[in-house]
Structure 1
Amino acid sequence: MGVAAAQVVDNPCYPTSFKVHHVMCTELSKLVDRIIKIFPKIEAARPRCSSGIKALCSLNSAIDKAKLLLRYCSESSKLYLAITTDAILSRCHKSKNLLEQGLCQIQSMVPVMLAFEITQIVDDFQAAKFIPDEFEKEAGKVARELLQRGATESDSMGYAEIRALKTVASRLHLTSLIAILIEKRSIKKLLEKVGDSDQQKKKILRYLLYLLRKYANQIIEEQTDNTNDLNEGAFASNGPSTDSMQAHSFNVESCMERKRYDAHADKLSIATLPEEFKCPISSRLMYDPVIIASGQTFAVVGGIIRDGRRLSDSLR
């Protein structure tokens, strides 16, 4: 058990950035932190008996399961996480109960001062609450309704359904080409892990992938249109004498935004994005990429590649 304890202490790291259910995951991560900090004392003070070793193994296993749940919420599909909000909530409660149960089993087997410290942690566990984000919960509800309709109307979505999909995408921050590509990649990874026995989950993931492939452009265009409306409103509110100044300011801000995007994109292309997202010429993350007639994809820099089409068009 000394090796197991050392692994808990030496590798306490788990994701602190969560795609969905940030509040619930942060609450669970705080509980895990409390136990990780006290775990070396518990391991060192445990009685040399089979029941003590078993209790410590149970606590260690509960910590590992909690870490897996936190990692799942940092790597999984946003859409699927939103759809399964109730299941994630249940898993958070179950994880908390396992951790609390492990602490209570250990509590009677350690010295008095350590037992008192464990009591304080157990009290914090009992006060912990897991509350889903209302926007994410609503997004999951709307997405589930789309899935139910899609079972019979997958070939033709009505205007109301498309608007609902855009609302879901907006609340889950799936409003850019990169965000949608990353989401599609996450869904594909989930599909690879699903066994043949879970056909229902496969069906759900495949339909989510279908929606993103077919309506990605409309989701992105919706976001672009909203941004343009805000910019037009801002220009309209100024007098004629300030139009040129505002236009100059807008151009400067656009250039600065493009530079910030390029810097951030370079980090993303190295850290998280696959090779196919990089320009074969510059090796940088492609900004507004196009596909030429030969099928190769390049980034547009200072002009337009003729006989090509934008990568976003290929999502249709």
Structure 2
Amino acid sequence: MWIDAAEVSETPPFHHDIKVHHLMCMELIQFVTRVSVLLPEIEAVRPGCSGTEILCRLNNEIDKAKTLHQHCSESSKLYLAFTGDTILSRCKKSRNMFEQSLNQVQNMVPVSLASEISQLIAELRGAIFSVDPSEEEAGKVIKELLHRYVNTTDSAEEYAFEAIQVAMWKLHITSLKALSIEKRSIKEMMDRVGEGETTKRRILSIFLKLLNKHGKSIVTEQIHKEDSYPFYNQCEVNSH
């Protein structure tokens, strides 16, 4: 059963819920919505066995894209920044899959529908996905931190405070509420980690340990800075 256009309009994605990689997820979900609207029209043409297979691939890709959107809405900000390259790759792969499948099916439908599909293909080809610079910087700092922990270097603990501070600021974990949400997200992810995912569990454990140890003092310092300099936030906004 294919996705109905009315169903798509009734259940729009909540872009404001995306914690990290907001622009990438928004771009991808917009394409998901466009493809979803076209599916019933393509199915109505009854494009044959090969067409049915393409429709199945498109539906599967839509489900994967929605899962990615949910992942970026529910997961830890620190973990999402750490896996930024993977998220970027997944968005590009989804875009390419949509483009390839639509390109294959456009010759199986009437001219008017083929024209709509062709326009969407052109937009897919022109779509550019990239990691936000601040989130990319946070990811680099987190990767370096984890590298030091994995190699059990003496500098790991010394570097930890500075690294987690930079990551928190870059990811806007700058209030006690935001800190609480981040810690809860990490715990919820740990609850969902499979038995064989030992590396992921260890990474999440390190994040939680560092937030428990340094998070409150980093947030307090940030709040104090904002209280001491009333125009701090405005300057930060104007600088971007």
Give, in angstroms, the shift of residue 154 of structure 1.
8.8
Contact 1:15–1:70 (CA under 8 A) maintained in structure 2 = no
- 31-40 vs 67-76, which deviates more? 31-40
Contact 2:160–2:210 (CA under 8 A) maintained in structure 1 = no
Q: Which residue of 1 aligns with 2:72?
A: 73
Q: Which residue of 2 aligns with 1:97?
A: 96
Q: Counterpart of 2:226 in structure 1: which amino acid?
A: T
Contact 1:20–1:136 (CA under 8 A) maintained in structure 2 = yes
**CA deviation map 1:12-53 (0-9, x unaligned):** 533312111112112112211221232221122232x32222
Residue 166 (structure 1) aligned with residue 165 (structure 2): yes
Q: Counterpart of 1:21 in structure 2: which amino acid?
A: H
Q: Which residue of 2 aligns with 1:126?
A: 125
Q: Which residue of 2 aligns with 1:115?
A: 114
User: Equivalent residues in 2 for 1:140-219 (5 A)?
Assistant: 140-151=139-150, 152=152, 157-158=157-158, 160-219=159-218
Q: Distance in 1 between matches of 2:70 and 2:121?
A: 24
Give, in angstroms, the shift of residue 156 of structure 1.
7.4
**CA deviation map 1:156-202 (0-9, x unaligned):** 722x5312321110111111111111111111121122212221111
Q: Which residue of 1 aligns with 2:25?
A: 25
Q: Counterpart of 1:38 in structure 2: which amino acid?
A: L
Q: Distance in 2 between matches of 1:36 and 1:61?
A: 11
SS at match of 1:207: helix
Q: Counterpart of 2:100 in structure 1: which amino acid?
A: Q
Q: Counterpart of 1:72 in structure 2: which amino acid?
A: H
Contact 2:145–2:156 (CA under 8 A) maintained in structure 1 = no
Q: Alpha carbon RMSD of aligned pairs, Å?
A: 2.2
User: Equivalent residues in 2 for 1:6-85 (5 A)?
Assistant: 6=4, 9-11=6-8, 12-17=11-16, 18-47=18-47, 49-85=48-84
Structure 1: segments with no counterpart, 5+ residues: 234-316
Contact 1:5–1:43 (CA under 8 A) maintained in structure 2 = no
Q: Counterpart of 1:145 in structure 2: which amino acid?
A: E
Q: Distance in 1 between matches of 2:199 and 2:182?
A: 20
Contact 1:82–1:139 (CA under 8 A) maintained in structure 2 = yes
TM-score, reference length from structure 2: 0.87
Alpha-carbon spacing, 1:207–1:95, altered in 2? closer, same or farther (3 Å): same
Alpha-carbon spacing, 1:120–1:114, altered in 2? closer, same or farther (3 Å): same
SS at match of 2:139: helix
Contact 1:82–1:140 (CA under 8 A) maintained in structure 2 = yes
Q: Distance in 2 between matches of 1:133 and 1:208?
A: 21
- 13-22 vs 146-155, which deviates more? 146-155
Q: Counterpart of 2:80 in structure 1: which amino acid?
A: L
Q: Distance in 1 between matches of 2:190 and 2:14?
A: 22
Q: Distance in 2 between matches of 1:212 and 1:228?
A: 22
TM-score, reference length from structure 1: 0.67
Give, in angstroms, the shift of residue 155 of structure 1.
10
Q: Which residue of 2 aligns with 1:284?
A: none
Q: Counterpart of 2:197 in structure 1: which amino acid?
A: D
Q: Which residue of 2 aligns with 1:226?
A: 225
Query: How many residues are treated as equivalent by the alignment?
Result: 228
Q: Distance in 1 between matches of 2:136 and 2:105?
A: 37
Q: Distance in 1 between matches of 2:231 and 2:106?
A: 64
Alpha-carbon spacing, 1:153–1:178, altered in 2? closer, same or farther (3 Å): farther
**CA deviation map 1:273-294 (0-9, x unaligned):** xxxxxxxxxxxxxxxxxxxxxx
Q: Counterpart of 1:148 in structure 2: which amino acid?
A: H
Structure 2: segments with no counterpart, 5+ residues: 233-240
Contact 1:107–1:118 (CA under 8 A) maintained in structure 2 = yes
Higher share in helix: 2
Q: Distance in 2 between matches of 1:40 and 1:232?
A: 53
